């Protein structure tokens, strides 16, 4: 599991686009709050020595989606996965919004993204 501060977020240090905040229900001391952006790119790295051999892994981006959020619904997102020394694996992913999970403050919880399709 990677903490948000260990991710490379395009424009992540630009206060006009992102704000670093703390929220009570997060396991991390700080999370990135997206304010506005036209280019959404997040990169993370895990040292392969921390992975078990002959084990299948999945990648998930876990986030909360505000009730007024827009831009992710039914739009394909290019996702790229790569192990050092191997070919790049590209996928088309869609964010599955589960509007049934509503927080006390009115925000919809996005539990996880559903990986759909191959390219």
- Quote the pLDDT of residue 112: 39
- Same domain for 4 and 59, yes or no, is no
43 neighbors 72 (Cβ within 8 angstroms): no
**CA–CA distance, 5 with 17 (Å, rounded to integer):** 16
- Quote the pLDDT of residue 104: 44
- Same domain for 29 and 58, yes or no, is no
- Quote the pLDDT of residue 79: 80
- The DSSP annotation for 17-79 comes to TEEEE--TT-SSS-EEEE---S---EE----GGGS-TT--------EEE-TT--S-BT--EEE
Phi, psi values for residue 5, rounded to 5°? -70, -15
**CA–CA distance, 71 with 52 (Å, rounded to integer):** 36
Number of folded domains in the chain? 2
- Same domain for 71 and 88, yes or no, is yes
Q: Which of 57, 58, 49, 64 is nearest to 95 (CA)?
A: 64
- Same domain for 62 and 106, yes or no, is yes
By residue range, what is the domain housing residue 14? 1-45
pLDDT block averages, 10 residues each, the chain of length 119: 90 91 89 86 85 85 74 75 78 66 45 37
- Quote the pLDDT of residue 66: 72
- Same domain for 13 and 59, yes or no, is no
- Same domain for 59 and 18, yes or no, is no
């Amino acid at each position: 599991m990677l903490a948000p501060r260990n991710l490379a977020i395009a424009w992540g240090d630009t206060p006009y686009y992102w704000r670093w905040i703390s929220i009570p229900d997060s396991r991390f001391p700080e999370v990135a709050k997206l304010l506005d952006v036209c280019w959404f790119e997040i990169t993370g790295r895990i040292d392969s020595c921390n992975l078990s051999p002959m084990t299948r892994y999945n990648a998930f981006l876990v986030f909360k989606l505000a009730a007024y959020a827009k831009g992710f619904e039914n739009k394909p997102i290019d996702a790229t996965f790569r192990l050092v020394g191997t070919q790049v694996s590209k996928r088309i992913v869609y964010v599955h919004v589960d509007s049934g999970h509503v927080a006390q403050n009115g925000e919809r919880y996005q539990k996880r993204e559903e990986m759909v399709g191959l390219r």
